[in-house]
Amino acid sequence: MAKMLDKIEAMALGEYSPFAQLLAFRLTAIRPGEAVVEIDVDERHANPMGTLHGGVPCTIADSAMGLAYAATLDDGESFTTLELKINYLRPVWKAHLKATARVIKRGNTIGLVECDVTDESGALVARASSTCMTLRGDMAKGR
């Protein structure tokens, strides 16, 4: 099991992050290469047209994909996102959304992660993908 996974599991038992608290989304499942993030959305999350602001599903997808990838890392490794893409497939007003991410390919340096965002009925709301780059040594430490 990847060492980073232990840290993520410990976070999930407590408070995930200040940003997650601000938007009120939560990590509900994690294992190497897979993560699920969930949120309840309502009119507070709306754009000026009254539908869900696109940043919300993008944020939970990005978070789920990042956690899924991070759960594959070893001690001393970190990562950065090189590219993030999302397709919105249906409008949302009020719903329980679930972002289910899975690492599709984890190479030595570059990885591909995909995520489906679904509503409480299981309808596909959005699909996202992310290209991640594993950082090691001084790069993993931010130097």
pLDDT digits over 119-134, tens only?
999 999 999 999 999 9
pTM: 0.90
What is the domain range of residue 66?
Answer: 3-141
Look at 22 and 7; give whichever has higher pLDDT: 22
Query: In 10 A of CB 102, how many CB atoms?
Result: 17
List Cβ neighbours of 108 (8 Å cut-off, separation of 6 or more).
Answer: 134
Cα separation, 69 vs 110, whole angstroms: 11
Count of domains observed in the chain: 1
| pLDDT at 11 (0 to 100) | 61
Query: Which residues, listed in sequence order, are joined to residue 129 by a DSSP beta bridge?
Result: 85, 114
CATH number at residue 60: 3.10.129.10
| pLDDT at 22 (0 to 100) | 81
Question: Would you place residue 96 in the very low, low, confident or very high pLDDT band (cuts 50, 70, 90)?
Answer: very high
For residue 68 the two structure tokens come to: 């899924």
| pLDDT at 13 (0 to 100) | 46
